[in-house]
Structure 1
């Protein structure tokens, strides 16, 4: 796809990320001269999910919010279905977690508060996401959080035959107990999933995990939420209580509206339990790790960094024996260069001094000779 132009308008630049159903590419909208994200179903899913893509486009087109990835266009070109959306110049929270990037409690709360505002707007429009997870929460370099990937969202007011009863469409790590049982998802299901995301951002790991998806589903149904303070001691007790309420097994016992969760988290953020609140843009100031949203390329990036580092070394260092090419070589190389330069400068300075003294002596002797001739 890279290098291809869709609809004589969207020039594909590079792959941003890929899931089980679709790939997302960075593209240039040549008509409006702006960068956009283009979502294209994978070849083996294009035909079965063509209707789902159309439905997603219709759902997204109805919603415009600062904390939701907005859709610009939906079309078919060269037998390729695609959606054109906001391009968020930043990183997904999933990528943050994969890079073991530490997050302070205050930063996590600010992220989730923005998600709450976007989710509240969706719920007001009678749409539930059904697949809230870190990979679907994007953070721009300007500190703006947006909810993405509405491929699993559906209108509450309408029925659809695209989703069979009991079909588990969301990721098992974040699926609510009722969805795990095959029951209908509700707004409270989104609140449960958001609570699990909150737990993972605070601790760096999901509360329920296993190599077997069925085991994870059973844990969501049966096991109580582990205490995150055993992993992150900076978490205040008040935040743990909010987590417990958001992730109770019974939907009626959870927060009934996402803005109730928002209010509880906002009170904690403004309390004395949390330190100074900073803008989320500071998360990108360090510049590491690099956030290329490409799947499973950790080893590739590491090798590339080694190659680039080697290419930038001075030629003198490259010619040394590999066993001696460690950090100490740089010191000795610099020492030799400084010594040689110092010697040259000293020699030149000494030479100039000798020439000056010789000139003075010669001039003085000439003056003496001249005076002798006079007298």
Structure 2
């Protein structure tokens, strides 16, 4: 497991999300390796719709990664609410761009789900948490087989079988996300993971609500059981979504934009303060890192700017309640 804190990069006065692996996990070296692997994979992917990694390190028993602070939280719908067609299409298009870029760099995410799709203050969608991502081999498939990792509610049939997967598996997961954002529920729901897996492999694709039927061809192709029947790339999904958006706008014949290449870092305006929902971080963590980081209780009301220190990346930590979606790491086995 990992916990995320709201922190500040002192020299540039920038708020960041600081992800810290639970120190008790260091008894198994593989957990630290997985944590650092996630950070290294994400750090190599520089795209406007992929979370930016700022610094990675180990301090004593603490593995940490400082990353872009995403103030908007995860994209979610609750209690059968829906996100709306246009907003859902925008999220799907932006994450498809991110996936197309990641796949072009040889990375399959393997855990695309709403909890891992975060929003900036301007509403743009960002893909995060590459904790179970894998590099692909020369044939375009993840090299390891026989191991099932991911979130069953969003996993492709081939991923559930423990087969080799490629980028088309991520596109299936994106289709599940799209269906859930439009309908308020997952396309397949069961009492246990085994039954859920069978549904992903064999059950017909359910229909969207009538008000969103224009998106049914998009969702149905994303959720095709056979990878060969799906869109073959994130760029193809972007083109399909753009065409549907043009259809909704009544502007037939619009040309889909090409996937973004070599994009610059996004400019963030995070504001001068937050709403004070975070709680103070005290105790063992403070004692362990007090030689480098100061951990102080927050004042009542808005978070207060702290005094700066002159270290390369000195972070003032406050538990980030608003970023609770990061607190459940997606690594397997669970703890």
Query: Which of the residues 220, 226, 232 maps onto 2:206?
Result: 226
Task: State the TM-score, normalized to the length of structure 1.
Answer: 0.63
Q: Cα deviation per residue 1:289-337 (whole Å; 9 max; x = unaligned)?
A: x993437xxxxxxxxxxxxxxxxxxxxxxxxxxxxxxxxxxxxxxxxxx
Do 1:71 and 1:86's aligned partners in 2 also have CA atoms closer than 8 Å? Answer: yes
Q: Cα deviation per residue 1:198-233 (whole Å; 9 max; x = unaligned)?
A: 00000111011122111111111111111112xxx2
Give the distance between the partners of 2:20 and 2:77, measured in 1 at CA. 25
- Per-residue deviation at 1:61? 2.0
SS across alignment from 1:37: strand
What are the within-5 Å matches in structure 2 for residues 95-114 of structure 1? 96-98=76-78, 102-114=82-94
Give the distance between the partners of 1:90 and 1:205, measured in 2 at CA. 21
2:38 maps to which residue? 56
What are the within-5 Å matches in structure 2 for residues 254-293 of structure 1? 254-272=230-248, 292-293=322-323
Do 1:242 and 1:265's aligned partners in 2 also have CA atoms closer than 8 Å? Answer: yes
Count of aligned positions = 253
SS across alignment from 1:81: strand
1:294 maps to which residue? 324
Give the distance between the partners of 1:120 and 1:52, measured in 2 at CA. 23
Q: Cα deviation per residue 1:8-31 (whole Å; 9 max; x = unaligned)?
A: xxxxxxxxxxxxx32222111123
Q: Cα distance 1:124–1:45, how it changes in 2: closer, same or farther (>3 A)?
A: same
1:250 maps to which residue? 226
Higher relative contact order (CA 8 A, sep 6+): 2
Q: Cα distance 1:97–1:133, how it changes in 2: closer, same or farther (>3 A)?
A: same
Q: Cα deviation per residue 1:233-258 (whole Å; 9 max; x = unaligned)?
A: 21134x20111111111111111111
SS across alignment from 1:98: coil
SS across alignment from 1:215: helix
Query: Which of the residues 115, 118, 126 maps onto 1:146?
Result: 126
| Two-structure CA RMSD over aligned residues (Å) | 2.5
Structure 2 unaligned segments of length 5 or more: list them: 252-276, 278-320, 326-335
Larger Cα-atom Rg? 1
1:236 matched to 2:213? The reply is: yes
Query: Which of the residues 102, 123, 146 maps onto 2:103?
Result: 123
Q: Cα deviation per residue 1:153-197 (whole Å; 9 max; x = unaligned)?
A: 1211389xxx96322221000000001111012111011000111
Do 1:26 and 1:38's aligned partners in 2 also have CA atoms closer than 8 Å? Answer: yes
SS across alignment from 2:211: coil
Do 1:105 and 1:274's aligned partners in 2 also have CA atoms closer than 8 Å? Answer: no
Q: Cα distance 1:67–1:250, how it changes in 2: closer, same or farther (>3 A)?
A: same
Give the distance between the partners of 1:84 and 1:294, measured in 2 at CA. 16
Task: State the TM-score, normalized to the length of structure 2.
Answer: 0.70
Q: Cα distance 1:145–1:220, how it changes in 2: closer, same or farther (>3 A)?
A: same
